[in-house]
Structure 1
Amino acid sequence: MANSVLNYSRSLPVSESQPVISEEQATVKIKTEPGFKSKQENLSSTFTIAAAGLGLISDGYQNNLMTMANVVFKNIYGTEYSSTVSTRVSNALLVGAVLGQVFVGLICDRIGRKVALFATTALIVFGATLATAAHASTPAGLFWFLTVARGITGVGVGGEYPAGSTSASEAANERSPKNRGPIFVMVTNFVLSFGGPLAVSVFLIVLCAAGKNHLQTVWRVSFGIGIILPLGVFIVRMRMMSTILYKKGAIKHNVPYGLVVKRYWKSLIGTCCAWFLYDFVTFPNGVFSATIISSVIKDSDIKKTAEWQLLLGAIALPGIFVGAWLCNVIGRKNTLMLGFSGYLVFGLIIGCAYDKITSIVPLFVVFYGLMQSSGNMGPGDMMGLVSVESYPTAIRGTCYGISAALGKVGAAVDMTGVDLADEDAKFMEYLAVNGWQGRVGEDDDAELTVAVETEHQKAKKELKNSDATKLKGPSRNLLEESKIQSYLDRIAETGNTVTLADITRLRPNIHSDPETPEYEEEYNALIDRLCRSFSKKQLYSFVKMLEIEGSRRGSAKRHSAVQIVEDGWNWPSLAKVKARKRDWSEVLSQSFPLDPRQSFLILGKGAPLSLNAEGLRGALKQLEEHITFVKEDIVEEYYGISFEKPFPAELLHRISRLSGAFTETFGEGQIRISYRKSDPRAAFIAKRLLTHVLCDLETVTGSSILVHIPPEAPKSTPVPLAMFPSSYALYPFLSTRSLPWNVNASGAFRARKVAEWIGINPMEDVQKSGGLELGRGQVLDMEGNTADLRQKLFSHLPEPSGSNSRVVSASFGHVLLTPPPSSHASFIPPLQGSWPLSNLSRWIRERHIGRLFTPFLPAPVLQLTPQKQQLLHRLLYEAHPSGNTQQSTHIIEFEMVLPLATIDQNGITELARSNFDSRHEESSIYTTGTTHTRLDHICRIGNQFTVDLMLPDRPMDIRFSVFDSYILPQKLWPTELQKYFEDLSFFFYDGESNASPPNAPVTMFLNNVEYRLRSSVSVRQTQADTHAPQSKISIPAISESILDLEVDDKSTVCKINCHAPSTDEDWRAFLKGCDFMSAMRIPTSGKKFIDADADVAL
């Protein structure tokens, strides 16, 4: 047999001959003594391992960066960031990685590891910089920019796999061949996987710093931090040297790729296919894991999604350490198979029980993390390790890059403890045998040369002996006892005694699907077989042995057999299977009697008292179970009222529809509230609306209503006005928005003057009549008696003391008359025709017509520019003590500045902590708490009296109110109010992002007086100054956009205030502002001050 000798020797000059190869040597000898290594070479292996780890952690960061970026882009751009765009941007990195893995794999073998590492680092920095600065005029352009930038980054990331991994494996082999596997895993797969939690942690830190309103900043800063990581690697990689294995085993010219494919084609096919299948599943699970988690959690909040994603990444890390430990204990192959098995098991658990697991978010994340941890333990750790151990140094980068590009996995073989130089020697021997000749090594001063001389082919291998005779088993002994005979003998010995083994022999291993006809046949055949095989007594004994409950002596034989099959062997009950089939095949009709409470809570408003349903028997059973469940879930509460008059029934129906709780009168002075136990807020809203109605009824009873008649001012008409006395009529009130919920369904009407002459403006001209300021007209009450507005306001309140403050407010809107309730709305007024104002007043008084004041923005305010804005939360509590002879209302008013930013007239953003309104002029009235009470707030208590002034000759009416109050110190607050303020402060500053705000107390007691919640609203308050015609005095107007927090009812209010009008001049100036606001008609166009209701009183 011919001998081939491969010697490593110093190359000679070109003129000198190649070294002589001895033909007498019988084996191939490879000289691989490394010789003496310098201190720099020893340190280089350490720096090489460190450089690989630091480089790959930036790769892991880039790989996982899109996990949260997908959620952010979806939140910012909505439908613009479709699934197609998301997949394109996310996959750009993978496409670039494939290119980088292939081409950089060639570079690191043909040019050098160090050059490849520098090139990949530069590409990552360049691509990450482009992604951070991505900009375009349209979202589509931005995403194409990101796609290109991420693709460039991907080329660098992909190149790090062959360049960094091969360098790390060769350096680890030099440092510690026995621990090469664990070291390689820790500097490759661990840092790659750690990049996931690192990327999410950076995202959370940036999100908390920038806030959810600056998501553009969040994703750009997160992308920008990805530039810093690879920049730091440059310093370490400058200290690198090529590994000894690469210096001695590199082939930079005339690479025999044909021989490589011939020798390693099976390994390449196996590696590519295996890792392709793994990456096909694990990469989408990693990149889109945040998207999956955000679809599972109820409120897809970005911060919560990131927190769950961080937990998921943390759970996946321990598997890496387990795999690193097991790779030397049980081997690479077994560790790989164990990891694949765990990944499969946890994946099946999640898939089979997806609907149940996803309802418990922590459980889903734990199983999801365990699945990824199993993947990291097996294929994640082993595939890269086996790849670098499967190929020689000369082509390690190329083959590893191809494997990573098509699957990033090496051959699934056990390479534990094998020195990488051994594979190099085998590869060189293979080249020598196949006649290849070329240069091997990297040293510039003296290249290592491989000279191959082959004189004969190797002899063919001997054939194995394949004609060995097979041994035959011994022939059967015909005299041996048969199994049947043995069984019969045993029965004869034991008599009638039976054991579980006797009946277990008859138990089938499987049965058909219970829904198929075959199951019934198998079931009946098994029952018949049991009944034929055993007696009644024996079957009963089996039932006792199996410890089946409900067994009794004397039962029928078939009954015992059924118990054994169903309860002992867990076969589905045939009777239940038949009943279920019957339930879903027969159509029946069924009636369900309901009382009003049950009908409302099950079927909603206007539901009947009986429910007739027709359908499949199974569906009717489900409906019956649901109705029974709802009936059992209904609870009742009783709400006491002290109002003497009966509570309006139509308002009870309306409260039921708004709150979702059924309300009805129950005896005298009580309202029964029925609601579902699972929805306690419905009861709170019902109580809140009940108190609101009670406060309205008591306010109407205690307040006064007056009407103003202007004097007859001279008009430029040829006909004397004395011939046409003024008359008034009721006009329907129309609004673009629905009327307040407590208005009767039959409609609302406003008294207006009737124009009886063509060309005559029916509106009052306050410049000529003098208006309320000069008092030339008449102010009458409903009895027709003359009244003084100022005296009417102040006569019901005592003079304020030194600590009390008095504020008179004028709110503008419409005094609406509400006729008796009716089931249908109508534009026809209850009093038809035109009448003198005295007749109209008498009709209101005698018929006890209800009234309601609806606020509306006057025309002058619609044209103003706001000067001060702030957001408030306001609670208003009212009390009407029985011994109150002054007809005033006891008031507790609580206001708090919400912790939101506002923009002042100079465009400066600051915390909304300015004054509440014009009556709060000094900052000393504020109380700023500490720790959990950091909200500016104020609580006033006092008495209020209200007078509604009808102005039928003007576009608007006025509601006057006087409020005598003082600031109530926090230590004297009612206990309920203190608790609510603490809970609300905690909600704003320390509560969870998805927590619900606390409910304001419906009632509270102070000094043995019960206060009811009149309103709980959020207020957007704006102040502006206006000037009346021919007047230099500014009129400060306060406009408020009010949102009722329970019924989502929005309204707008404009008012002007007068602080303690002690002189006639102050009072006249106040009335002058009222004239100006109420007399101007609404312009057809103009700048709007605040979004107002477009209400029209015809």
Structure 2
Amino acid sequence: MPRGQQLEVLNALDVAKTQLYHFTAIVVAGMGFFTDAYDLFSISLCTKLLGRIYYFNEKSKKPGVLPPGAAAAVTGVALVGTLLGQLFFGWLGDKMGRKKVYGVTLVLMVVCSLASGLSFGHSAKGVIATLCFFRFWLGFGIGGDYPLSATIMSEYANKKTRGAFISAVFAMQGFGILTSGIVSLIVSVSFNHAYPAPPYEQNPAGSTVPQDDYMWRIIVMFGAVPAALTYYWRMKMPETARYTALVARNAQQAAKDMAMVLNVEIDPEVEKVEKLTVKESNSFGLFSREFVRRHGLHLLGTTSTWFFLDIAFYSQNLFQKNVLSGIGWIPPAETMSAGEELFKIAKAQTLIALFSTVPGYWFTVGFIDIIGRFAIQLMGFFFMTIFMFALAIPYNHWTEKANRIGFVIIYSLTFFFSNFGPNATTFVVPAEIYPARLRSTCHGISAAAGKAGAIVGAFGFLYASESQDPTKVDLGYPTGIGIKNSLIILGCVNALGMLFTFLVPEPKGKSLEELSGENEDEGEDGDAPTSTSNRTVPV
């Protein structure tokens, strides 16, 4: 196509007014992320409960805790599965189409959520091993939802509010985190009332009751409910017009699908699509020199910023109970029964999610198409860096009882600015700046880089944040560098994310084809056109 021209069906999507189908797509795609967040973060609430149920130590008479290896496996195996799922389903989404593989990821999530709660074994190791097996495949399904949901929403959205629509899908993650806390509160209150256990100091061995084993299973299995409820609607969604027209080269089907969605007549423009078919200037592959020239720095930017972000974000979320216990906001385990400890940890997570995490996501939805992705991401990394250092440097000051509320407020602000910042924008931008035939793949690669950071955060922070805990020392578990030094490291990681943000372009107000250069012809000399839309923001 000559520069600036656009297929009518794609132009109709770019200029379409916000309609019911936009909100339907947000909910259908977003419920996948609701499930993702619920499954990935509910397990952090259950790890202490698993330790107390399966690892009570008769010799020390101290609260049972998961050995570091088991804790790392339970927490991290789903992240490994997610990374592999992002790469595999991202690639498959470009090869087979977004819709064809969209239902597979949801089925995996439903089946493996239920199976995780039914984990069995003759010993503690057997139960943990079974749980890890199913959580790996749960993560694999979750991973596929990242590139597919982001790509589908970006290709359905109009140009003016595309950022808000994509970030609204991702914002459902906040509700998933919040719901995991609420469900845990309900389950713990119900079981504590029906099956009360004596305080730990009165009877260490009896601080758990047999029914406690049902608590973590119910919490984990509830993640299957929202995923199952949205399966029917996912299967009813048509393939995106951009994939059908630009990748599958079926203009008539693209026009038919979008005419039904938008309730307008659309010219299929078969001849224009045929010209696209014979044009080779925009058919470069992922590993080609042309891709490196056009999008190499962009891919470095989207992968590196997501990597650094997830080191900090997952460290904070998965191990906030360690941090809050370290400053004394959550009482010592030996003062509570297992059910009471679950209640207090869930209460802390729910309050932080309600007043910090969820609002941060929706601030991004409200402002992303006004101030742009770049500004929000840079601002988020900046404040995350500042607040991490503000917590870490005077850490001993915050551990004093009179100062704990101040610590919690600043700690909550790091969650707010991660979500009103890079946690949302790193998801949005890769769904906008790459060509349609590589969009899902490149988003999957960027997301997988993020999960690599999450794995570093999950495994690294698990060992690094362990202070000199007498319980762990008595059991022979290694201790780490402490929470203070861990927070300093996370502050430095956020600073690196702020630096690499300058490699990421600003997609605000441009069509997907403008950003990727798919609506531009080669020049007569055979050189690819220069598009200002693909330049990075100047430093």
Tell me the TM-score normalised to structure 2 length: 0.70
* Distance across 1 between alignment mates of 2:344 and 2:119: 27
Task: Please report how far the alpha carbon of residue 197 of structure 1 lies from its aligned counterpart in structure 2 after TM superposition.
Answer: 1.4
* Alignment pair present for 1:51 and 2:25: no
Q: What corresponds to 1:249 in structure 2? A: 246
Call closer, same or farther: CA 1:459–1:76 in 2, change over 3 Å.
closer
Given that 1:275 and 1:406 are in contact with CA atoms closer than 8 Å, whether structure 2 keeps it comes out as: yes
Measured against aligned partners, the alpha-carbon deviations of 1:313-365 in whole angstroms (never above 9, x if no partner) come to 22222222222333233221111111111111111111112222233443332
Residues 172 and 180 in structure 1, CA contact (< 8 A), matched pair in contact too: yes
CA deviation map 1:946-993 (0-9, x unaligned):
xxxxxxxxxxxxxxxxxxxxxxxxxxxxxxxxxxxxxxxxxxxxxxxx
CA gap 1:275/1:460 in 2 versus in 1, 3 angstroms: closer
| Cα deviation, residue 113, structure 1 | 1.1
Of 299, 303, 307 in structure 2, the residue corresponding to residue 268 of structure 1 is 299
Kindly indicate whether the alpha-carbon contact (under 8 Å) linking 1:57 and 1:191 is maintained by their aligned counterparts in 2. Answer: yes
Q: How much has 1:417 moved relative to structure 2?
A: 1.0
CA distance in 1, matches of 2:174, 2:529: 49
Q: Structure 1 vs Structure 2: percent identity of aligned residues?
A: 27
Structure 2 contact 43–220 (Cα < 8 Å) conserved:
no
Max Rg structure: 1
- Name the SS for the 2:291 alignment partner: helix
Q: How far has the Cα of 1:36 moved from its partner?
A: 11
Aligned partner of 1:309 in structure 2 is 349
Question: Larger % of helix: which?
Answer: 2
User: Which of 416, 420, 423 is the matching residue for 2:512?
Assistant: 420
1:133 to 2:118 alignment: yes
Query: 2:184, 2:343 within 8 Å by CA — same for their partners in 1?
Result: no
Deviation of 1:229 after TM superposition, in Å, equals 1.5
Distance 1:218 1:284, change over 3 A: same
1:262 and 1:428 mapped to 2: Cα distance? 18
Structure 1 residues not aligned, in runs of 5+: 1-5, 7-26, 434-453, 462-1098
SS of structure 2 residue aligned to 1:427 = coil
Instruction: Give the corresponding residue for 1:194.
Output: 175
Give the structure 2 partner of residue 291 of structure 1.
322
How many residues align? The count is 408
Q: Is the 8 A contact 2:10 2:242 kept in 1?
A: no
Does the CA contact (< 8 Å) of 1:51 and 1:237 recur in 2? yes
- Equivalent residue number for residue 111 of structure 1: 96
Contact 1:47 1:240 (C-alpha < 8 Å) held by counterparts? no
Q: CA deviation at 1:456?
A: 4.5
Larger RCO, structures 1/2 (Cα 8 Å, 6+ apart): 2
SS of aligned partner of 2:89: helix
Distance apart, 1:421 and its partner CA: 3.0
1-side partners of 2:366 and 2:21: how far apart? 26
Mapping of residues 600-999 of structure 1, within 5 Å: none
Change beyond 3 A, Cα 1:460–1:113: closer
Q: Name the CA distance, whole Å, in 2 between partners of 1:101 and 1:88.
A: 20
1:331–1:342 CA distance, 2 compared to 1 (3 A): same
Mapped partners of 1:240, 1:280: distance in 2 = 34
Q: Distance in 2 between matches of 1:455 and 1:106?
A: 33
In 2: Cα distance, 1:455 partner to 1:390 partner:
25
* Alpha-carbon contact 2:184-2:342 (below 8 Å) kept: no
Aligned position for 1:400: 443
Shift of 1:199: 0.3
CA contact (8 A) 1:135 1:142 kept: yes
* 2:6–2:519 contact (8 Å) kept in structure 1: no
Residues 1:34 and 2:9 are matched in the alignment: yes
Partner residue, 2:162: 180
1:218 matched to 2:247: no
What is the letter of the counterpart of residue 172 of structure 2? Answer: V
Check the 8 A contact 1:161/1:401 in 2, yes or no: yes
Question: Are the counterparts in 2 of residues 128 and 226 from structure 1 also a CA contact under 8 Å?
Answer: yes
Equivalent position amino acid for 1:299 in 2: P
Deviation at 1:284, TM superposition (A): 1.6
Deviations 1:581-625 (A, max 9, x none): xxxxxxxxxxxxxxxxxxxxxxxxxxxxxxxxxxxxxxxxxxxxx
Which residue, 430, 434, 437 being the options, matches 1:387? 430
Structure 2 residue aligned with 1:695: none
Unaligned runs of 5+ in 2: 56-63, 198-208, 250-276, 278-282, 334-340, 452-496, 531-539
Residue 99 (1) aligns with residue 191 (2): no
Aligned to 1:84: 69
- Distance apart, 1:413 and its partner CA: 2.2
Q: Which runs of 4+ in 1 moved over 6 A?
A: 35-39, 252-255
3-state secondary structure, aligned to 1:34: helix
- Deviation string 1:769-803 (CA, Å, 9 cap, x unpaired) is xxxxxxxxxxxxxxxxxxxxxxxxxxxxxxxxxxx
Indicate the residue corresponding to 2:386 in structure 1: 345
| Cα distance, 1:42 vs structure 2 | 7.4
Displacement of 1:75 in angstroms is 2.2
Cα distance 1:80–1:279, how it changes in 2: closer, same or farther (>3 A)? same
Tell me the TM-score normalized by structure 1.
0.35
Rounded to whole Å, the distance in 2 between the matches of 1:114 and 1:298 is 48
Distance 1:397 1:414 in 2: 19
Structure 1 residues 306, 49: CA separation in 2 closer, same or farther (over 3 Å shift)?
closer
Partner AA of 1:62 in structure 2: D
Note closer, same or farther for the CA distance 1:319–1:460 as it changes in structure 2 (3 Å cut): closer
Tell me if structure 1 keeps the 8 A contact 2:38–2:179.
Answer: yes
Aligned-residue offset at 1:385 = 1.3
- 1:204 Cα deviation from its structure 2 partner: 0.8
1:856 alignment counterpart: none
CA distance in 2 between counterparts of 1:75 and 1:460 reads 63
Report Cα offsets for 1:135-175 as digits up to 9, x if no partner: 011111211111111110001111100011111122222xx
Amino acid at match of 1:457: G
1:75 has 2:52 as partner: yes
Counterpart contact for 1:328–1:416, Cα < 8 Å: yes
Partners of 2:68 and 2:191 in 1: CA distance: 27
- Report the CA distance shift for 1:241/1:255 in structure 2 as closer, same or farther (over 3 A): farther
Q: What is the letter of the counterpart of residue 224 of structure 1?
A: M
Deviations 1:242-299 (A, max 9, x none): 1222222225998723243443121111221111111112112111112332343333
What is the distance in 2 between the residues matched to 1:241 and 1:34? 14
One-letter identity of the residue aligned with 2:216: W
Q: Whole-Å Cα distance in 2 between the matches of residues 35 and 393 of structure 1? A: 12
More strand by share: 1
**What is the letter of the counterpart of residue 52 of structure 1?**
A
Counterpart of 1:1076? Answer: none
Conserved? CA contact 2:3–2:519, under 8 Å: no
Separation in 1 of the partners of 2:358 and 2:65?
A: 35
Counterparts of 1:392 and 1:459, CA distance in 2: 14
Matched ranges for 1:471-482 at <5 A: none
Tell me, yes or no, if the aligned pair for 1:92 and 1:147 is still in contact at 8 Å. Answer: yes
Task: Give the RMSD, CA atoms, in angstroms.
Answer: 2.8
Displacement of 1:230 in angstroms is 0.7
How much does 1:35 deviate?
8.4
The answer as to whether partners of 2:114 and 2:221 remain within 8 angstroms in 1 is yes
User: Is the contact made by 2:513 and 2:519 (CA closer than 8 Å) also made in structure 1?
Assistant: no
Shift in alpha-carbon separation, 1:251–1:261, aligned structure 2, 3 A: farther
Counterpart position of 2:463:
none
Rounded to whole Å, the distance in 2 between the matches of 1:142 and 1:261 is 47
1:126 is displaced (CA, Å) by 1.9
Q: For residues 416 and 59 of structure 1, what CA distance do their matches in structure 2 show?
A: 27
CA contact (8 A) 2:10 2:241 kept: no
**Aligned partner letter, 1:303:** F
Q: Please say if residues 383 and 417 of structure 2, whose CA atoms lie closer than 8 Å, have aligned partners that are also in contact.
A: yes
Give the aligned residue type for 1:34. V
CA contact (8 A) 1:61 1:198 kept: yes
* Residues 324 and 299 of structure 1, relative CA distance in 2, 3 Å threshold: same
